[in-house]
Chain A
C-alpha cells in the first residue's frame, strides 16, 4: 500500500470520530464530574490522617431528625413552587402559544423580564414589597383593610413568592415550547367533530400539552431543590433548606465529609424526581420528542377518563352561560389573569427604578425623590467599579470559552452519529440538573488543592460549566432547523468544508449563535453561587459585591446598580433583536 493511500484510509477512519464532541465531554468530565464525584466520595471517607472508609456520616444522617425535617421542608418548598408555577404559568403559556406573532413576542418579553434583573436584587425588591413597612402593607392599610401591618416577610408564603418569581418564567417558557408544537388543526378538528370548547381543551389540547407541563415542572422542581439565597433572605429558620445546611457544614463547621453526605442526599432526591418523570412521561419529552409512538397504558387510560369528565363538566358549565358567541381572539378572562401574573413577574424589576432615586440611605418605600447620590456612590466607588469591570471580564471570557466548547458539541450532536447521542446530551445538560450549590462546593474543594481559589481562570471555568448547556441547547435548536442541503449545495459549487462553514453555515446560524453567546454572558454575569465560593482573595464580581454590601447594609446603591443593569441588558436585547430582524429581512 502506498503512503498516500494509507493516509487517505486513516483520514477516512478519523472522519468518523465525533471530534467536535470531545472538548465538551473532556471539559465537563474534568471540571464537573470529577470534582462533584470527589466531593460526594468524601461522605464515605474517614476524617483525620488515618484515612480509610466510614459510614459514620450516613449513620449521623439517618439518626438526625433535623436532617429529615430539613429534607421535608426542602421537598415541601420545591413541591409547592412547582405546583404554583404550573398552575399560574399554564394559562400564561397557553395565551402566548395561541396568540399572534406580535402579541406573542411582547408577552414573552414580559415573562423573561425577571431573568434580566439580578437575582439578588429581585429578592431585595421582595423585602421592600413585603416588609413590615413595605409597599403591600402600606397599601392594605391605606385601603383600610387592615389595622396594623401584617407579618409577611420571613414566612413560608414570602419564600414561596420569591421562589415562584424566580422559577415561573422557566416553567412558562418550557410549556410554551411544547404548546407551540401542537397543531392548531387538532383543536379545530375536534370542534368540527362535535366537541364543545371544554371537551376540546381537556381531551385534546391539555393531554397534548402535558409533556410541557411535566418538563416545566421537573425543571422548576430540580432548580428549587438547590435554592438557598431566597429562603435565607425571605424565610425564617422554619424555612431552612438542604443547601443551607450544606453551606453551614462547609463554611462554619468545616465538616466536608458530612457536607458530602448531605450532598448525596440531595443528588439522590434529584435522581428520584428524574426517574419518576421518566417513568411517567419519558425523557424524550424533555428534548422535544412527543407522545404518540405507543398506545396509551392503563395509567393514561385512567387519566383520559378524568379529563373526559372534566371536559363534560366544563361543557355543562358552558351551556349554562348565555349562548352568545364570543368574538374569536378575545379572551378577557385568560388575558386578565395573564396580565396579573405578568405584573407579578415584572413588579420587582420595575420597583427598583424609583427606589434608586431616593435621597435617604434606606431601601424603602415610598422613595424620597429625587437624588442621583446612589448613582454617584456607585460610579465614585473603586470597589464597585472594580467589581463591574471584573464581571464584564469574567462574563466575556465565559461566553467565549463556552461558545468554543459548546458550538462544536452542538454540531456534533445534530450532524454526527446517532449512537450514544442521548448519553452525551445528558452529560452536556447535567450542569442544569446537578444542584448548583454542589457544583460550587465541589469546585471550591478542587480549587483549594490546586491553589486556584481567587483566580479569574477558576471563576471563568466554573461559570462555563453552567453556560455550556445553554449554548448547546440554543445552537442545537437553530441547527435542527437548518437545511443541510445548503451545505451540500455549497460543496457542489466548489467550497471545501472550512469555507462552507465560514461562508454559508455560520452566517445563516448567526441569530442562534448570538443568542447562545448572550445566554452564556448573562448566566455568568448574574451568577452568585459559584462566585461566593471561589472568588476568595480576588476582588468580587458584581453579584458577589452586591451580596457583600447587602450583608453589611442594604442601601439604595443596590437599586441604582440594578437599574443600570436593567438598562444595559435591555439595550443588549434590543440590539440582538435588531440583528436578528435585520438577518431575517436580509434572508427573506
Chain B
C-alpha cells in the first residue's frame, strides 16, 4: 500500500540559512502525525511544503502516490488550519465555510446542506450569519476547523491552531480535534511546539531540531525511549546526568555517575557503547524512601537530602540533593506524609534499572 503522503529527501534554504536539511517522511492513511520542535527547527517549512505554499529546493512530495511537488495549493487534496485562523473578515461564517465548496463548483443546495452539517459537527449551528469578528477566539477556531473539514480533504494540515487560545480552551479543543479525527478518519499533520498537545493527540510524533528529524515514533517511544539528550529534554521533565559506562552484559549495564556519588544500573539497550554517556531518569520513575530502609537487590538507590517540597495538587514535586551534589527532581502522587518532609531531611531515592535510559553523550 502506498503512503498517503510521502516526502522524499526534500530540503529548503533561504540565503545562507538552511530551513530544512534533506528529510524524508511518510504518513499512513488516517494517521495523526505531529511535527514537534522549537521555532526554527524546520517543522513549519515541512508543513508549508506539503501545503504547496513553499517550494522545496530539492526532493519530491507525493500525495496518494502521485507527484505533487510543484502543484499549486489549490490542486492538492489538502486543507489547512492556520494559527491566525485566517477567516475571511468580509464574509459571514456561512460564506466562509461555503467558500471551498463554491470553489469546487458544487450545487448551491448541496453547499447549504454541508455548511449546516459541519456547523453542527463543531457545535456552533447558531452563528452561521455572523461575521467572524463577532465570534470569540475559540469559536473562530472551530469555524476554521469546520471550513477545513467541510470539503473532506485527504490531508488536513494544522499550524499551531491552538497557540493563540488560553489553556482551558486549548485542552477542550484538543479533545475536540481528536474526536473529529476519529470520526472523519482523515490524515492529519499537526505542527506545534507544545509537548502536551503531542502526547494527547498523536499516533506518531516527529521531533525536529535544526532542520533535521531528531527522532520519530509514538509518543510513548519518544517519552520512554528518547534517543538523544535533546529529545529527552524537549519532551517532559527529566533528570539528566553525566555518566561513564563501566561494564555491559546482556541484561544490565553498570554506569559510573559522579553526580549521584556512585554507580547506577541500567537495563541494557542498544543506545550506548562503552565510555562517556548521559543517563536519564524521569522524575516520576524515582521514589523517595526513608534513609535507613533496606534496598531490594538490583534496585538503584542514592542517598540524598531534601531541599524543597512543591505541592502542585495531585502531584508533589520534591527537589533533593544527591550525595554527589546534584539536584534531582522527584515527582509522585501526593500523600499527606510526603508533604511534611522538612528541608534537610535525609532520604533515599530509588528507581528500577529498566527506568534508567542511556543516551549518547552529546558531541
A binds B: yes
Write the residues of chain A forming the contact surface with B, with a CB cutoff of 8 angstroms.
183, 185-186, 188-197, 199-200, 203-204, 207-208, 290-296, 308, 325, 327-328
Question: Is the Cβ of B88 less than 8 Å from the Cβ of A195?
Answer: no
Question: Is the Cβ of B53 less than 8 Å from the Cβ of A191?
Answer: yes
Judge if B52 is at the interface, Cβ distance under 8 Å.
yes
Question: Is the Cβ of B89 less than 8 Å from the Cβ of A193?
Answer: no
> Which one, B127-135, B215-223, B269-277, is touching chain A?
B127-135
Q: How far is the CA of A185 from the CA of B91 in the complex (A)?
A: 15
Closest to B144 in A: A189
B295 CB to nearest chain A CB (Å): 55
Q: How far is the CA of A330 from the CA of B103 in the complex (A)?
A: 26
Interface residue SS majority, chain B: loop
Q: How far is the CA of A183 from the CA of B140 in the complex (A)?
A: 16
A487 CB to nearest chain B CB (Å): 27
Q: How far is the CA of A185 from the CA of B53 in the complex (A)?
A: 10
Write the residues of chain B forming the contact surface with A, with a CB cutoff of 8 angstroms.
51-53, 55, 70, 72-74, 76, 78-80, 82-84, 86, 88-92, 99-100, 102-104, 129-134, 147-148, 151, 157
Q: How far is the CA of A195 from the CA of B91 in the complex (A)?
A: 15
Which B residues touch A327, using CB under 8 A? 55
Closest to A308 in B: B102
A71 CB to nearest chain B CB (Å): 36
Question: Is the Cβ of A188 less than 8 Å from the Cβ of B73?
Answer: yes
**What 3 pairs between A and B have smallest CB-CB spacing?**
A189-B86, A292-B89, A191-B73
Question: Is the Cβ of B79 less than 8 Å from the Cβ of A192?
Answer: yes
Closest to B48 in A: A188
11 residue pairs of the A-B complex, CB under 8 angstroms, read A185-B82, A186-B89, A188-B53, A191-B73, A192-B53, A193-B74, A291-B89, A291-B90, A292-B90, A292-B132, A293-B134
Which B residues touch A296, using CB under 8 A? 90-92
With A292-B133, A295-B131, A328-B55: A196-B86 Cβ-Cβ less than 8 Å: no
Q: How far is the CA of A188 from the CA of B79 in the complex (A)?
A: 11
B102 CB to nearest chain A CB (Å): 8
Q: How far is the CA of A190 from the CA of B89 in the complex (A)?
A: 12
Question: Is the Cβ of A192 less than 8 Å from the Cβ of B74?
Answer: yes
* In-complex Cβ contact of A194 among B53, B82, B88, B103 (8 A): B103
Question: Is the Cβ of B86 less than 8 Å from the Cβ of A186?
Answer: yes
Closest to A185 in B: B86
Which A residues touch B90, using CB under 8 A? 207-208, 291-292, 296
Question: Is the Cβ of B89 less than 8 Å from the Cβ of A196?
Answer: no
Q: How far is the CA of A191 from the CA of B52 in the complex (A)?
A: 9
Which B residues touch A199, using CB under 8 A? 103
Closest to B105 in A: A312
Closest to B130 in A: A295
Which B residues touch A197, using CB under 8 A? 72
Which A residues touch B151, using CB under 8 A? 193-194
Which A residues touch B78, using CB under 8 A? 192
Q: How far is the CA of A290 from the CA of B104 in the complex (A)?
A: 29
Closest to A311 in B: B103
Q: How far is the CA of A61 from the CA of B134 in the complex (A)?
A: 50
A343 CB to nearest chain B CB (Å): 30
Closest to A294 in B: B131
With A193-B79, A194-B103, A294-B131: A186-B74 Cβ-Cβ less than 8 Å: no
Question: Is the Cβ of A193 less than 8 Å from the Cβ of B129?
Answer: no
Question: Is the Cβ of A183 less than 8 Å from the Cβ of B133?
Answer: no
Q: How far is the CA of A192 from the CA of B52 in the complex (A)?
A: 8
B270 CB to nearest chain A CB (Å): 42
B237 CB to nearest chain A CB (Å): 32
Which B residues touch A194, using CB under 8 A? 74, 100, 103-104, 151
Name which of B78, B80, B90 has the most chain A CB atoms within 10 A of its CB.
B90
Question: Is the Cβ of A189 less than 8 Å from the Cβ of B70?
Answer: no
With A199-B103, A291-B89, A292-B89: A189-B82 Cβ-Cβ less than 8 Å: yes
Question: Is the Cβ of A188 less than 8 Å from the Cβ of B131?
Answer: no
* In-complex Cβ contact of B84 among A183, A207, A208, A292 (8 A): A183
With A185-B82, A292-B131, A295-B129: A192-B70 Cβ-Cβ less than 8 Å: no
Which B residues touch A207, using CB under 8 A? 90
B161 CB to nearest chain A CB (Å): 12
